[in-house]
Structure 1
Amino acid sequence: MEFKHITVAGSGVLGSQIAFQSAFKGYQVSIYDINNEVLEKAKNRIQQLETFYQRDLGASKEELLEAYNRLTFYSNLAEATEKADLVIEAIPEVVQIKLDFYQELAKVAPAHTIFATNSSTLLPSQFAEATGRPEQFLALHFANEIWKNNTAEIMKHQTTADHVFESIISFAKTIGMVALPIQKEQPGYVLNSLLVPLLEAAEILLVNDVAEVETIDKAWMIGTGAPLGPFAMLDVIGITTAYNIVKGKAEATGKPEYIKLADLLKTQYIDQGKLGRSTGEGFYQYPNPRFIQPDFLKN
Structure 2
Amino acid sequence: MEIKKVTVFGSGVLGAQIAFHTAYHGYEVILFDLKQDLFEQAKLKFEQFKEWYQKDINAHSGDLDMALSRISLTTNLQESVQDADLTIEAIPENLQIKKNFYQQLSEIAPDKTIFCTNSSTLLPSQFAEETGRPSKFLALHFANYLWKNNVAEIMGHSGTAPEVFNLVVGFAKSIGMLTIPIYKEQPGYVMNSLLVPWLMAGLDLYRNGVADAESIDKTWMKTMGVNLGPMAMGDLVGMNTAYNVTQSYYELTGETVWKERMDFLKDNFIDQGRLGISSGKGFYEYPSPAYEDSDFLK
Q: By the TM > 0.5 criterion, same fold?
A: yes
SS of 1:138's partner is strand
Taking the aligned partners of 2:250 and 2:9, their CA distance within structure 1 comes to: 33
Q: In structure 1, give the amino acid aligned to 2:196.
A: V
Identity over aligned residues, as a percent?
54
Taking the aligned partners of 2:274 and 2:123, their CA distance within structure 1 comes to: 31
Structure 1 position 297, deviation (Å): 2.5
- Name the CA shift for 1:100/1:212 in 2 (closer, same or farther; >3 Å): closer
**Which residues of structure 2 form unaligned runs of 5+?**
none
Q: How many equivalent residue pairs? A: 296
Does the 8 Å contact 2:218/2:229 carry over to 1?
yes
Structure 1 position 37, deviation (Å): 4.2
- Name the CA shift for 1:115/1:202 in 2 (closer, same or farther; >3 Å): same
Q: What's the counterpart of residue 88 of structure 1?
A: 88
**1:103-182 equivalent positions in 2, closer than 5 A:** 103-182=103-182
Q: What's the counterpart of residue 184 of structure 1?
A: 184
1:166-193 CA-to-partner distances (Å, cap 9, x unmatched) read 1111111111111111111111111111
Q: TM-score, normalised by structure 1?
A: 0.87
SS of 1:187's partner is coil
Taking the aligned partners of 1:58 and 1:136, their CA distance within structure 2 comes to: 36
Q: What's the counterpart of residue 33 of structure 1?
A: 33
**Which residues of structure 1 form unaligned runs of 5+?**
none
Q: Point out the structure with max Rg over C-alpha.
A: 1
SS of 2:192's partner is helix
Q: TM-score, normalised by structure 2?
A: 0.87
Structure 1 position 195, deviation (Å): 1.1
SS of 2:122's partner is coil
Taking the aligned partners of 1:82 and 1:189, their CA distance within structure 2 comes to: 31
1:48-98 CA-to-partner distances (Å, cap 9, x unmatched) read 422222222222332122111112233333332222111111222233332
Taking the aligned partners of 1:175 and 1:250, their CA distance within structure 2 comes to: 34
SS of 1:108's partner is coil
Q: In structure 2, give the amino acid aligned to 1:233.
A: M
1:117-163 CA-to-partner distances (Å, cap 9, x unmatched) read 11112211122112221111100111222222211111111111111
Q: In structure 1, give the amino acid aligned to 2:142.
A: F
Taking the aligned partners of 1:160 and 1:82, their CA distance within structure 2 comes to: 22
- Name the CA shift for 1:120/1:62 in 2 (closer, same or farther; >3 Å): same
Q: What's the counterpart of residue 62 of structure 2?
A: 62
